[in-house]
Structure 1
Amino acid sequence: MTIETERLIMRRWREADREPFAALNADPKVMEYFPGLLTRERSDHLVDRIEQSFDELGYGLWALEVRESGEFIGFTGLALQTFEAPFTPAVEVGWRLTRHAWGHGYATESARAAVAYGFDRLGLAEIVSMTAAVNLRSRAVMERLGMTHDPADDFEHPSVVSPDSPLRPHVLYRLRRAH
């Protein structure tokens, strides 16, 4: 299950992806809008869960590589969200890229391909995306995808336990297939 864009390859995970993925998940700047850094063990567990999603659902977070160089730069894809919220269950488009891959349009390019897969191959009626309200870079990607934000959909993320954390307030963006 591979998706190719002009500059990127979105593919299933390889054993060789685990080390650079762990480094990405241990980078404080990359993980700035997440509750914390991931240890190598937790990073590897995430890869295992992603692969399980592909096996069970037929979609997941594809490993992302640059076509020209073959370099692994993170992930982009679709994830089923089932935590307790007014909009769940929902399929979310998401991405996490290594810092040196930022600013090249890779997140938008690969997220467009993931959204197209969700609508065209999976027949989804809607895809959402969410992030901490303060994460302006990811919000900009959501807007470039044509997603819309209604402040009435904003929520407090249950995974961020501290009520005072600036990461607790989350925004929700939506994209419907008819868009």
Structure 2
Amino acid sequence: MTELHTDRLTLRGWRDSDLAPWASMNADPEVREHLGDLLTREQSDASVARFQAEFDRRGHGWWAVEVRATGEFIGFAGLDRVDDDMPFTGVEIGWRLARPAWGRGYATEAARTVLVYGFETLELPEILAVTTAANLRSQAVMRRIGMTRNPADDFDDPTAPEGPLRSNVLYRIRRGPRM
């Protein structure tokens, strides 16, 4: 499995030691605020099994993210194919970090590295990012990594129930001449 490194982070395969902190993140209402219901330990563990299986099959997906200096697991970042039930197609970048890791620039740092991998290694022509209209923190990361939003692309997520999770925004970035 390909590992990616930044000055402060390692993006790597999932380990058994990641399961408990991942489950804690998925049981945290603030972390899940823009994602939907809290996950049980079983659901959380099953998500890691899916992430690893997809990564093994495609060679990319959701990497576990750890702080290089300490080895602490802090979340995930990576690329995934857009779900079939969305009103658009492509490859989506994403990240999710534990609350203690918020506000330190880790999401931006991981996302920039994932973008480079997507454009230079996978040779993707475009990478998308999706979040709820209310998720201003993720939208700020999207802008910091050079993504742009056309409000005409915003959409209602057909898989989300009525309410704040339904209204979504779509950001895009195209591979530039330097990539």
TM category, shorter: over 0.9
- TM superposition outliers: structure 1 runs of 4+ over 6 Å: none
Structure 1 length-normalised TM: 0.96
Consecutive unaligned residues in structure 1, runs of 5 or more: none
Give the structure 2 partner of residue 22 of structure 1: 23
The whole-number CA distance in structure 1 between the counterparts of 2:86 and 2:17 is: 36
Deviation of 1:56 after TM superposition, in Å, equals: 1.2
Give the structure 1 partner of residue 96 of structure 2: 96
1:108 pairs with 2:111: no
Give the structure 2 partner of residue 126 of structure 1: 126
Q: Map residues 118-157 of structure 1 onto 2, 5 A cutoff.
A: 118-157=118-157
1:4-42 deviation per Cα after TM superposition (whole angstroms, max 9, x unaligned): 101000000001100100000000011111111111111
Secondary structure at 2:104 match in 1: coil
Deviation of 1:57 after TM superposition, in Å, equals: 1.0
Are the counterparts in 1 of residues 6 and 113 from structure 2 also a CA contact under 8 Å?
Answer: yes
Give the structure 1 partner of residue 61 of structure 2: 60
Secondary structure at 1:32 match in 2: coil
Structure 2 length-normalised TM: 0.96
Secondary structure at 2:53 match in 1: helix
Deviation of 1:82 after TM superposition, in Å, equals: 2.5
The whole-number CA distance in structure 2 between the counterparts of 1:125 and 1:106 is: 25
Give the structure 1 partner of residue 71 of structure 2: 70
Secondary structure at 1:77 match in 2: strand
The whole-number CA distance in structure 1 between the counterparts of 2:119 and 2:9 is: 20
Letter in 1 for 2:64: A
1:130-173 deviation per Cα after TM superposition (whole angstroms, max 9, x unaligned): 00000000000000010010011111112212x2x011000000
Q: What is the total number of aligned residue pairs between the two structures?
A: 176
Give the structure 2 partner of residue 166 of structure 1: 164
Consecutive unaligned residues in structure 2, runs of 5 or more: none
Give the structure 2 partner of residue 117 of structure 1: 117
The whole-number CA distance in structure 2 between the counterparts of 1:54 and 1:174 is: 23
The whole-number CA distance in structure 2 between the counterparts of 1:95 and 1:17 is: 15
**What percent of counterpart residues are identical?**
55
Deviation of 1:84 after TM superposition, in Å, equals: 2.1
Provide the aligned C-alpha RMSD in A: 1.0
Secondary structure at 1:49 match in 2: helix
Secondary structure at 2:76 match in 1: strand
Letter in 2 for 1:120: E
The whole-number CA distance in structure 2 between the counterparts of 1:110 and 1:20 is: 18
Letter in 1 for 2:168: H
